[in-house]
């Protein structure tokens, strides 16, 4: 008896794992995440996108921000997101690459585009300027200015944003210091070099993503003001970047108003045009992933999605903790909860997410887990590493579409 294998789990025929070519998005789904899982019993991860939520977030920024808030495409470049933003009134987009610029032109043809990657290829600059009408560019060194001038034929209508570095001591939850930004002491000279060849001149920075401390903006703006003063040249615009946070189980950020107060009321901006580039806060609560549990080993759940898939920011780079809940169609679920870590499907050991993620004590193979707050940096970060990474996309019906379907 002791040598006998005890088989647990489902018996009977199993569905085939879908092939990428047959994987079309499902648009205007009128049900809920739970009803989808109940009927589809998905073998692969499913991404649920809620366009109503995207539109609501966009309108909130458009209403509250006292300037222009171009949406940072990198955060979630899905066509539905871009189209929804444009429809909600977003008239400007911050792009990091020519691919993102092409996507904006396709889904929001009339939008203003800011090319805010401080290092760009010559080909990308040319196509951005001549094909897509992009006039605003960021840079953080004089060689990039020369590149911009050469590739645009000394264009007379450039809007140049000098990106200043944020001191390491002011880093936030997801640190963006170290890669881009000219040190404040060198920035005045670069501003002076840019001024004669810029139709409009701006300063920009990024305090880091998921910034939990509103005063970081006030500090960065004070630094920007010192740089402008030291430069002795006229600066037309200030771009305070992204970084506006969303709520996670272990992080409840101050209200957006407090951030805006730190940006405006606590600084004398004079007649500087104000810009911000929100990514995370524009899409935070508009996406969720459903992953399946393939194995449980103690407090570690092995899922069919992970760091190389839709859960990049839960992995070692971000260590974000997401809200989670269990779906077990037709089955009882224990009331008591405990915390777990997740492991993704690939064979790499960085494909692990320490959480802790809170779920019922009886999670088992074959259960589905809904992971929320995955609007940002999810779809855009996934890879096909180890042959995984396929995701079924489900675009939820808007309230309007639901009402129509109910008639």
Interaction site with ligand PLP (CB under 6 A): 72, 74-75, 94, 116, 176, 206, 209, 241-244, 277-281, 376
User: Greatest CA span in the chain, whole angstroms?
Assistant: 87
Show the 3-state SS of the chain. CCCCCCCCCCCCCCCCCCCHHHCCCEEEECCCHHHHHHHHCCCCCEEEECHHHHHHHHHHHHHHCCCECCEEHHHCCCHHHHHHHHHHCCCEEEECCHHHHHHHHHHCCCCEEEECCCCCCHHHHHHHHHHCCCCEEEECCHHHHHHHHHHCCCCCCCEEEEEECCCHHHCCCECCCCCCCECCCCHHHHHHHHHHHCCEEEEECCCCECCCCCHHHHHHHHHHHHHHHHHCCCCCEEECCCCCCCCECCECCCCHHHHHHHHCCCCCCCCCEEECCCCHHHHHHHEEEEEEEEEEECCEEEECCCCCCCCHHHCCCCCCCCCEEEECCCCCCCCCEEEEEEECCCCCCCCEEEEEEEEECCCCCCCEEEECCCCCCCHHHCCCHHHCCCCEEEEECCHHHHHHHHC
CB of 128 to ligand PLP, least distance (A): 15
Q: How does strand 46-49 pair with strand 287-297?
A: antiparallel
Measured CA to CA, the distance from residue 86 to residue 101 in angstroms comes to 14
Report the nearest approach of ligand PLP to the CB of residue 281 (Å): 6
Supply φ then ψ for residue 125, to 5 degrees: -60, -50
Shortest Å distance, C-beta 185 to ligand PLP: 22
- Calpha distance 143→235 (Å, rounded): 20
- Cβ proximity of 162 and 185 under 8 Å: no
Instruction: Report which of 383, 297, 290, 387 is spatially closest to residue 342, judged by C-alpha positions.
Output: 297
Nearest approach, Cβ of 19 to ligand PLP (angstroms)?
33
Measured distance CA(159)–CA(290) in Å, rounded? 43
Least Å distance between CB 166 and ligand PLP? 12
Q: How far is the CB of 373 from ligand PLP (least distance, A)?
A: 13
- Minimum Å distance from CB 146 to ligand PLP? 21
280 or 325: whose CB is closer to ligand PLP? Answer: 280
User: Smaller CB distance to ligand PLP: residue 42 or 241?
Assistant: 241
Minimum distance from CB of 279 to ligand PLP (Å)? 3
Q: Which residue is nearest to ligand PLP (CB)?
A: 242
Instruction: Evaluate whether 77 touches 380 at the Cβ level (below 8 Å).
Output: yes
Q: Which is nearer to ligand PLP, 101 or 293 (CB)?
A: 101
Report the nearest approach of ligand PLP to the CB of residue 69 (Å): 10
**Minimum gap (Å) between residue 99 Cβ and ligand PLP:** 15
Choice between 279 and 315, CB closer to ligand PLP? 279
Name the minimum Å distance from CB 199 to ligand PLP: 21
């Amino acid at each position: 008896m002791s040598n006998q294998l005890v088989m647990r789990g489902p018996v009977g025929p199993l569905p085939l794992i879908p092939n990428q070519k047959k994987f079309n998005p499902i648009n205007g789904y009128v049900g809920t995440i739970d009803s989808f899982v109940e009927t589809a019993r998905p073998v692969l991860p499913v991404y649920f996108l809620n366009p109503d939520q995207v539109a609501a977030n966009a309108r909130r920024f458009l209403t509250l921000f006292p300037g222009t808030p171009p949406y940072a495409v990198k955060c979630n470049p899905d066509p539905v997101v871009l189209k929804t933003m444009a429809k909600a009134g977003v008239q400007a987009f911050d792009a990091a690459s020519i691919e993102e610029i092409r996507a904006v032109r396709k889904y929001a043809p009339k939008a203003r585009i800011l090319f805010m990657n401080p290092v760009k290829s010559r080909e990308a600059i040319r196509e951005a300027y001549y094909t897509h009408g992009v006039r605003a560019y960021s840079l953080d060194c004089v060689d990039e200015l020369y590149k911009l001038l050469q590739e645009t034929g000394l264009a007379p209508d450039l809007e140049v944003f000098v990106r200043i570095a944020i001191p390491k001591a002011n880093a936030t939850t997801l640190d963006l210091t170290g890669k881009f930004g000219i040190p404040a002491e060198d920035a005045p000279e670069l501003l002076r070099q840019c001024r004669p060849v810029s139709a409009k001149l701006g300063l920009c920075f990024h305090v880091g993503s998921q910034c939990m401390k509103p005063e970081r903006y006030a500090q960065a703006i004070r630094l920007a003001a010192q740089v402008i003063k030291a430069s002795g040249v006229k600066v037309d615009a200030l771009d305070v970047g992204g970084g506006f946070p969303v709520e996670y189980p272990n992080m409840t950020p101050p209200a957006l108003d407090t951030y805006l107060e730190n940006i405006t009321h606590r600084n004398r901006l004079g007649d500087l045009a104000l810009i911000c580039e929100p990514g995370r806060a524009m899409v935070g609560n508009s996406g969720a992933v459903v992953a399946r549990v393939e194995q449980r080993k103690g407090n570690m759940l092995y899922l069919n999605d992970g760091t190389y898939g839709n859960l990049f920011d839960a992995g070692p780079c971000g260590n974000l903790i997401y809200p989670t809940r269990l779906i077990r169609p037709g089955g009882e679920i224990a009331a008591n909860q405990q915390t777990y870590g997740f492991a993704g499907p690939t064979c790499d050991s960085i494909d692990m997410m320490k959480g802790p993620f809170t779920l019922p004590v009886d999670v088992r193979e074959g259960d589905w887990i809904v992971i929320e707050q995955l609007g940002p940096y999810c779809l855009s970060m996934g890879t096909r590493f180890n042959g995984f990474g396929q995701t079924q996309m489900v675009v939820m019906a808007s309230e309007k579409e639901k009402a129509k379907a109910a008639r």
